[in-house]
Amino acid sequence: MFTGIVVFGVICQLSAVWFVPQKFNYSLGLWVGIITALLYGYHLWWSLDRNLTVNADNERGAAAFSLKHSVLRYAVVAAVLIGLWYIGGNTAMLSGFLGVMGIKIGAYLSPIIAKIRDKNSKTD
């Protein structure tokens, strides 16, 4: 998933930066969004892994843990986007949102990247 997020970021950087007037703000927002998506993905993995190991027998505790960490992730994304808007205006905020949505693209690309990786490892 992480490889897909970075590939999405590179594609967005190379394709769209030529069409926006505020190139620095676009790039800043995009890469802050990509880094946020990477951290979001890591935290999602960590919280699911921890929840399944620690709260395996406690259904209420598992639900509360999941809710707490979901709200935390969304709050951090909202704070990052507000910070980007404050620093770089609408361009940085919108490209930051595009970068954060890289987690969705990374999830969709994950099986494709895994197939390519597995195919290359079999030929070695």
Q: Is the pLDDT of residue 10 over 90?
A: yes
Find the range with the poorest average confidence among 11-15, 54-58, 60-64: 54-58
Contact 32, 99 (CB under 8 A): yes
- Percent of the chain at pLDDT above 90? 56
Work out the angle between the directed axes of helices 23-54 and 2-16 (0-180°, nearest 10).
Answer: 170
Q: Which of 47-51, 55-59, 68-72, 106-110 has the highest mean pLDDT?
A: 68-72
Q: Torsion angle, CA of 109/111/116/122, rounded to 10 degrees?
A: 160
50: Cα within 13 Å, side-chain hemisphere: 12
**Is the model more confident about 81 or about 58?**
81
Q: Is the pLDDT of residue 56 over 80?
A: no
What would the mean pLDDT of 39-46 be, rounded to a whole number?
93
Please state, in angstroms and rounded to a whole number, the distance separating the CA atoms of residues 106 and 16: 18
**Is the model more confident about 56 or about 7?**
7
Please state, in angstroms and rounded to a whole number, the distance separating the CA atoms of residues 76 and 60: 24
Contact 12, 100 (CB under 8 A): no
